[in-house]
Structure 1
């Protein structure tokens, strides 16, 4: 693997990870507006019921995963190997 390919792969990975983090933060803000309470962070919290925790896990997991995949797909399309 050449240095250029390595740098490209690292860059794609960082961009995808950043997109996942940004998506999760955006989802947290959206959750707070819709639910009128902070997104569940601690599964041991007495204020978080199971349904709420599972819903948040599914929503945030899918949102972050789709964002990472979309960025990686887009960058792969721009820079074919």
Structure 2
């Protein structure tokens, strides 16, 4: 693998990770707006209901995963042209 390919792969990875972080932050703000409560931060918190924690885990996991996948797909598609 050439240096150019390595740099490209690292760039794609960083872009995908950044998209995941941005998606999670956006979901946190949306969660707070819809529920009028902050998004659950840790499962040990006494104020966090199990249903709320599981819902947040599913929503944030799917959202961040889809964002990472979409960015990686687009960048891979551009790279293959």
TM-score by length of 1: 0.98
In structure 2, distance between residues paired with 1:45 and 1:10: 36
The aligned length equals 81
**SS of match in other structure, 2:37:** coil
Shift of residue 15, structure 1, vs aligned partner: 0.1
How far apart, in 1, do the equivalents of 2:42 and 2:78 lie?
39
Structure 2 unaligned spans of 5+: none
Which consecutive unaligned segments of at least 5 residues does structure 1 have? none
> RMSD of the TM alignment (CA)?
1.0
Q: 1:80, CA displacement in angstroms?
A: 1.1
TM value normalised by structure 2: 0.98
Q: Which segments of structure 1 move beyond 3 Å, counting only runs of 4 or more?
A: none
